[in-house]
Amino acid sequence: MFSLENQIVLITGASSGIGAACAKLFAAAGAKLILAARRFDRLQQLVEELNKNFSTEIYSLQLDVREIAAVESAISQLPPPWSDIDILINNAGLSRGLDKFHEASIQDWEEMIDTNIKGLLYLTRFVVPGMVSRDRGHVVNIGSIAGHQTYPNGNVYCGTKAAVKAITEGLKQDLLGTSIRVTSVDPGMVETEFSEVRFHGDAERAKKVYQGVTPLTPDDVADVILFCVTRPAHVNINEVILMPVDQASVTLVNRKQ
């Protein structure tokens, strides 16, 4: 098994949901964490909690992944040894709106494309050259079942996650001949702040998404990510699709009354 002890792990979108769950699990496994998100107060709360429970070292970054200059300077200004990132978890992402294509907000589209595609590209572009020069590293992209199946009103969100799938495959191909691993972890329904963000803060509507269902938890997804990055160094898990037992496809969900 590949040990995470003292591995430097950069997690984007660590202030909530799957990213925060990864931070806890990776801290418990002995990794050194670089945690990034826009909400610095939320990151600080998490860091305090982690410091109480683990002896891990943590570097916090207030970062909007949509801002190319900010991403470039954040990565290039990391002091050693933080600059030698071993594992990049491209988790920051969001959906905005659930509307018919011809009625959807173009601003929502821009936000999803800028975050889910361009943000992931910027992080990867600035981190991977260091991995190549060290001939060591692992990039984990958080995709979605929405990248495998498009659902009504999911149009652009599904498009961004289909792009993540293609980008992950392309990165794997282009890194052939190096020791760097590339994985896409593609969950179905996970109860996080995701739906509240999608519905622009409408908590009631968000709650209904998970009504009568036992969804995945952020810890379930973090557990799968941990599995992927701790395989022996010659093993690459290319793609994992996971969903709740109560879900059979993006639209086929078993709801108890």
Residue 134 CB-half CA count within 13 A: 16
Sheet strand arrangement including 181-187:
58-62, 32-37, 8-12, 87-90, 138-142, 181-187, 239-242
Of 146-165, which residues contact ligand 8X3 (CB under 6 A)?
Answer: 146, 154
Do 50 and 30 form a contact (C-beta atoms < 8 A)?
A: no
The verdict on whether omega for the bond into residue 81 sits within 30 degrees of 0, i.e. cis, is yes
- Which residue of the set 59, 122, 157, 210 is catalytic? 157
User: How many other β-carbons are positioned within 10 Å of the β-carbon of residue 249?
Assistant: 12
Choices 36-44, 79-87, 130-138, 231-239 (CB under 6 A): range interacting with ligand NDP: 36-44
Rank residues 29 and 94 by Cβ distance to ligand NDP and give the closer one. 94
Using CB under 6 A, which of 12, 116, 141, 144 touches ligand 8X3?
144
Rank residues 4 and 158 by Cβ distance to ligand 8X3 and give the closer one. 158
d(CA 69, CA 237): 32
CB of 175 to ligand NDP, least distance (A): 22
Name the closest residue to ligand 8X3 (Cβ). Answer: 144
Whether 59 sits among the annotated catalytic residues: the reply is no
Do 10 and 127 form a contact (C-beta atoms < 8 A)?
A: yes
Q: Is 250 a residue that touches ligand 8X3 (CB under 6 A)?
A: yes
If contact means CB under 5 to 8 A according to the sort of partner, which of ligand 8X3, ligand NDP, none does residue 184 touch? none
Residues that bind ligand NDP (CB under 6 A): 12-19, 37-39, 42, 63-66, 91-94, 115, 119, 142, 144, 187, 189-190, 192-194, 197, 218
